[in-house]
Chain A
Amino acid sequence: MQQKPDLIEILRRSREGEYCSPRDWDLKRIPQGVKKMLKKYDLQKSVDKENPVNTDLELADEFFKAGYELALELGMFNEARDRIIRISEDELKSTLKLAPSEVELGFGADKRVLKSRTPSDPTPMLFGSSLGITVSEDKWPLLTEGIARQLEVDLLEGGSLCTINGLDALPNDPSETLLCYEQGRMHRQIRKKAGREGMPGIGNISAVTEFGQFCYGTKGNFYNTDLSLILYPSELKINNQTLHKVVHTLAMDGLIFAGSPGMIGGMPGTPEGAIISSIAASLLQYAVLFATVGGGELYDIRYLSNVNREGLWALSATHQALSRNTHLCTHGIANQVSGPGTRELMYETLVGVSVIAASGTAFSTGPRSAGGKFNDYLSPLDCRWCAEVSHAASGMSLESVNEMAKKFLPEYEDKIKTPNIGKPVEEVWDLQNFRPLPEAEKVYDEVRAVAEDFGLPL
């Protein structure tokens, strides 16, 4: 018998669940809950910095058990009302059973099938580009079309916009609503112009609040075969904006793509703690947020990245745990810090995306070039590289990817705190002609050749 709670029940629990103060949630419930599970499953100090990819799959399974139990013990916190949305074991089991293992995205010849994967699964991990790097209004259409023209890129997200006809678009303001309607309309036109009308999209990256998300699934805007992006404040914590977006997407018969990273150094503490909280958050997204795709993001707040040794290990263990113990269509991100046109970004992508792909993740997005911090620091060439690595590394053994990580980490790891931010798009990419500029292409060719020599089947 189906036990998965319905939307009304989730909304009820979001108002009437157990009261908890935000301070208690952040400083007691999460840290104490995580510590308890780490101890119970003997997972403290399991990160191996010398081997940045976990190859012990039984250990990954132990992490899954700990994350699963944490999900049941903690539940998801609604900060709008300081209430805990708790999910019972029967409900969680039923939710995971009912979650799709295969989802059609987009339509026609450009359609993609998102499939649940396992570690070293040869099924290619799908890749969507980019992340929410802000792009100037005048460059956004051609840059986004440049990304759509990269046939290796499976889903189109595109950068964020901050202005509409020169007016700052502010969250929770009518300008946000207007901007997102306009961006969604252009997003659809751009896919058609690039010759990939049915290419699945992700929308809307500029929607901070629910107002921006109302464009999803409406006439002339994002299709309901695109993914509706629903990010929430931190792992295990949602708010009413999150729930508004869920309600709207479900009303549009759409596909929910939920996520928020577990933080190494944050409330769950150690990398091992972050793995457990990330797994718990991933599982709960399917029950509380009705996710079709979700979970598994994770990064280190000291570096705002995860391509460092501890971050990579945590990513690998999280995704191995989820992919071996569920049939969920999970999502993961390699959070790069270097910028367009740099060798460092190419290597960060090579290592980070390979680790996710080989660990059994179904879907990834990126790049987060220059840490996603600088306006216009996004190139379609880097999107292509991410997608190429995503597809090529999918069948690799964890041992090979571990060797790859060990070989190429020295190319960038000492610069993670002070990264080379590279160049803005116009200095690395010919926007009008949709091709890389020679200097950036040379860097791409060089690193690509190095990766091929190593054995990445590009």
Chain B
Amino acid sequence: MDNVIVKKLYDAVIEGEEEIAVEAAQESIDAGLNPVEVIKTSIQGAMDEIGAQFEDGEAFLPELMLAGEAATEAMDILLAKIKEDGGESTEVGTVILGVMSGDHHDIGKNLVKAILSANGFKIIDMGIDVGVKAFIETAQREKADIIACSTLITTSLPYQKELIQTLEAMGIREKYSVILGGGPVTSQWTKMISADGYANTASECVSLCTQLMERSEKGGEGEPIIIGALT
């Protein structure tokens, strides 16, 4: 591996420098580097580093989001190269991400977006105040694997239940894993509404989504995967 290019990309992601990250990704292709290795070393390595800095109070949400954006842009170039070479896509899965109807808090959602993107998930960010119908229509259109819905407001929680009930009523529950996030979500609630999983932090959400993509059970079939919940 060309350490100069790898380091350039790594640093560009950490610094949230989108243009430099794109440039470095292209340089890595031009230099004949293995794109899978570049993603692992430069992009995921950088996101792990900035995630650790966030936990330690040395980096903050804007840095994390900018790093996520730089990582996503660089990933797009590297993934296209993998596809062009006939290799298997390293895109792990497609996640529909949004904040439930009535809720306008997007900090947690943005964190999850940044970290999942950098870990190879294709993210469709629906933003805030998203209704049940919009979640489902987008999941169908994008052929999603996972619907990730969060809320910080306790009174928006029932919309998570309604989302799952509507998927069941439409006969398409098994097509999607539904995962929950947000302050008032508990393991008890996750089980009660038959969601497929819950993670307490953005980094734990990567593990949750990866496990869901790897398991054989379809949406709504297996025991929910709970990571980091208090109870």
Chain A residues at the B interface, C-beta cutoff of 8 Å: 26-27, 30-31, 79, 132, 134, 160, 162, 168-172, 176, 206, 208-209, 232-234, 239, 241, 263, 265-270, 273, 301-302, 304, 310, 371-374, 418-419, 421
B60 touches A208 (CB 8 A): no
Query: When the two chains form their complex, are residues B155 and A171 in contact, meaning their CB atoms are under 8 A apart?
Result: yes
B1 at the interface (CB under 8 A from A): no
Q: Mark B97-124, 1 if CB is under 8 A from A, else 0.
A: 0000111111100100000000000000
Indicate with 1 or 0, residue by residue over B150-187, a CB within 8 angstroms of chain A CB atoms.
00011111110110000000000000000000011010
Residue of B nearest to A176 (CB): B155
20 additional contacts (CB under 8 A) given A169-B158, A170-B155, A265-B61: A26-B65, A30-B62, A134-B184, A162-B157, A171-B102, A176-B155, A208-B153, A234-B107, A241-B104, A265-B54, A265-B60, A267-B61, A268-B60, A270-B57, A270-B60, A301-B61, A301-B107, A302-B57, A310-B57, A373-B230
Judging by beta carbons under 8 Å apart, are A134 and B66 in contact? no
The verdict on B231 contacting chain A, using a C-beta distance below 8 Å, is: yes
**Which among B61, B65, B103, B105 is the interface contact of A171 at CB below 8 angstroms?**
B103
In the complex, which of the residues A233, A265, A373 contacts B184, with contact meaning CB atoms closer than 8 Å?
Answer: A373
Which of B57, B66, B101, B231 is the one whose CB lies under 8 Å from A27?
B66
B residues lining the A interface (CB < 8 Å): 54-55, 57, 60-62, 65-66, 101-107, 110, 128, 153-159, 161-162, 183-184, 186, 230-231
Most buried by A among B55, B61, B186: B61
Q: Is the CB of B107 within 8 A of A263?
A: yes
- Whether B107 pairs with A171 at a CB distance below 8 angstroms is no
Determine the chain B residues whose CB is within 8 A of the CB of A310 once the complex forms. Answer: 57
Given A265-B54, A421-B231: A209 touches B65 (CB 8 Å cut-off): no
A218 to B: closest C-beta gap in Å: 20
Asked whether B65 lies within 8 Å of A208 as measured between CB atoms, the reply is no
Are A233 and B158 in contact, with the CB atoms below 8 A? no
Within the complex, the shortest CB–CB distance from A50 to chain B, in Å, comes to 16
Question: Which are the 6 A-B pairs with shortest beta-carbon distances?
Answer: A171-B102, A168-B158, A233-B104, A269-B60, A31-B62, A134-B154
CB-CB under 8 A for A170 and B230, given A208-B102, A208-B103: no
A372 and B66 alpha carbons, distance in the complex (Å): 30
**Contacting pair A233 B62 (CB below 8 A):** no
A228 to B66, CA, bound (A): 37
Cα-based distance from A79 to B154 in the complex (angstroms): 22
Chain A residues closer than 8 Å to B157, beta-carbon distance: 162
Evaluate contact between B162 and A170: CB separation under 8 angstroms: yes
Complex alpha-carbon distance, A371 and B154, angstroms: 12
Q: State A27–B157 Cα separation when bound (angstroms).
A: 28
B155 touches A372 (CB 8 A): no
**CB pair B102 A170 closer than 8 Å:** yes
CA distance A290 to B80 in the complex (A): 52
Contact A266 B230 (CB under 8 A): no
Q: How far is the CA of A132 from the CA of B184 in the complex (A)?
A: 11
Residues in B neighbouring A302, C-beta threshold 8 A: 54-55, 57
Instruction: Write out the residue numbers on chain B whose beta carbons fall within 8 Å of the beta carbon of A239.
Output: 104
Q: Decide if B230 touches A418 in the complex (CB within 8 Å).
A: yes
Can you give 25 contacting A-B residue pairs, CB < 8 Å?
Answer: A26-B62, A26-B110, A27-B65, A27-B66, A134-B155, A134-B184, A160-B154, A160-B155, A170-B101, A170-B102, A170-B156, A170-B158, A171-B101, A171-B155, A171-B156, A239-B104, A263-B61, A266-B61, A266-B107, A267-B60, A302-B55, A372-B184, A373-B230, A374-B231, A421-B230
A170 vs B166: C-alpha distance when bound (angstroms): 15
Q: Is the CB of B107 within 8 A of A208?
A: no
CB atoms of B60 and A373 under 8 A apart:
no
With the chains together, A160 CA to B152 CA distance in Å?
13
Residues of B within 8 A of A419 (CB): 230
The answer to whether residues A162 and B158 also contact, given A27-B65, A266-B107, A304-B183 and a CB cut-off of 8 A, is: yes
CB distance from B40 to the nearest CB of A (A): 27
A374 to chain B: which residues have CB within 8 Å?
186, 231
- The CA of A172 and the CA of B110, in the complex, are separated in Å by 23
List the A side residues contacting B61 at CB < 8 Å. Answer: 263, 265-267, 269, 301
Residues of B within 8 A of A371 (CB): 183
Q: How far is the CA of A252 from the CA of B184 in the complex (A)?
A: 32
Specify the chain B residue showing the minimal Cβ separation from A239. B104
Q: How far is the CA of A79 from the CA of B101 in the complex (A)?
A: 15
**Cα A267 to Cα B59 with chains together (Å):** 11
- Tell me the nearest residue of chain A to B111, going by C-beta: A301
Q: Which of A132, A170, A273 is within 8 Å of B159, CB to CB?
A: A170
A264 to B184, CA, bound (A): 20
Q: What residues on A are CB-neighbors of B156 within 8 Å?
A: 170-171, 208
Q: Which of A168, A170, A374 has the most CB of B within 10 A?
A: A170
A133–B155 Cα distance when bound, in Å, is: 10
Contact yes or no, B102 A209, CB < 8 A: yes
What are the residues of chain B within 8 A of A172 when measuring CB–CB?
A: 101-102
Shortest Cβ distance from residue B76 to the other chain A in the assembled complex, whole angstroms:
18
Closest chain A CB from B57 CB (angstroms) = 7
Complex Cα spacing A161 to B128, Å: 22
B192 to chain A, nearest CB (A): 11
Residue of A31, A233, A267 with highest tally of chain B CB at under 10 A: A233
Report chain B residues within 8 Å CB of A232. 104
Task: Say yes or no: B57 contacts A265, CB within 8 Å.
Answer: yes
The distance in angstroms between the C-alpha atoms of A403 and B48, with both chains bound, is: 38
- Give every chain A residue within 8 A of B161 (Cβ-Cβ): 168
Measured CB to CB, the nearest residue on chain B to A419 is: B230
Query: Which residues of the other chain, A, contact B65 by a CB distance below 8 angstroms?
Result: 26-27
